[in-house]
Amino acid sequence: MKFFADTADVADIAELAATGLLDGVTTNPSLIHKSGRDFMEVTREICALVDGPVSAEVVALDHAGMMREAEILRKIADNVCIKVPLTIDGLKSCKALTSDGTMVNVTLCFSAAQALLAAKAGATFISPFVGRHDDNGFDGMQLIADIRLIYDNYDFGTEILVASVRHGIHILEAAKIGADVMTAPPAVIRGLVKHVLTDKGIEGFLADWAKTGQSIA
């Protein structure tokens, strides 16, 4: 499973990239607003930090507007992935962009039927929002399982990018289902390394090492 960071915080991205765990980055207008920085500037910096796809979202709602904005965004760097909403105009733009060799992330997916449409439109990634799905009384992981089944049935090349990830269980369950990618806030990614028994083991080893009076030098 590929790991994307869902953030526009350049410092967080740089730290994760240094671990070798980061395969890409997703941003959206809300994350850009939270960063308090210029959209084009921060996107350019992120693209320089990671080799993988960096999703940059259009804000126009009509096909012509999406295409105009996409033309500007994809000039930032070769690894820019244009993010479009799951609407008719979004799917039309997806088809036009992927046919031209541009990566496209179709976002705000909440049903397997929507995911099917995105795959038929040639999406590089489909982003089902599991956390928001759970918040509204639905089963986010069942949505991922349904999309995986449909995509495998027809050998679609679109990658399932699990989004709106809230905790490590979302990541683990998505991996068990066979999702291609997950995107999560840096804090959630870092949280995967934590385990009480790991901490206790380190504590015990260090205590015993101190008793030896030795050092590694």
Mean pLDDT, residues 151-173 taken together: 98
Q: For 97, what's the count of Cα atoms within 13 Å in the CB-facing half-sphere?
A: 32
For 173-194, what is each residue's pLDDT tens digit?
Answer: 999 999 999 999 999 999 999 9
pTM for the model = 0.94
Mean pLDDT, residues 140-151 taken together: 98
Which pLDDT does position 126 carry in this prediction?
Answer: 98
Percentage of residues in the chain having pLDDT higher than 70: 100
Percentage of residues in the chain having pLDDT higher than 90: 99
pLDDT beyond 90 at 214: yes
Q: CA angle 66-70-73, nearest 5°?
A: 140
Q: To which H or E segment does residue 134 belong?
A: helix 130-135
pLDDT beyond 90 at 62: yes
Pick the CATH number of 2-212 from 3.30.430.20, 1.20.1300.10, 1.10.260.40, 3.20.20.70: 3.20.20.70
Provide the sign of the torsion angle of the four alpha carbons 81, 83, 89, 94, taken in this order.
Answer: positive
Which pLDDT does position 127 carry in this prediction?
Answer: 98
Which pLDDT does position 217 carry in this prediction?
Answer: 87
Q: Which of 75, 83, 120, 211 is catalytic?
A: 83
How many CB atoms within 10 Å of residue 35? 16
Candidates 125, 127, 62; CA nearest to 90 is: 62
Which pLDDT does position 167 carry in this prediction?
Answer: 97
Q: Which of the four pLDDT bands, split at 50, 70 and 90, describes residue 31?
A: very high
Is 83 a residue of the active site?
yes
For 77-120, what is each residue's pLDDT tens digit?
Answer: 999 999 999 999 999 999 999 999 999 999 999 999 999 999 99
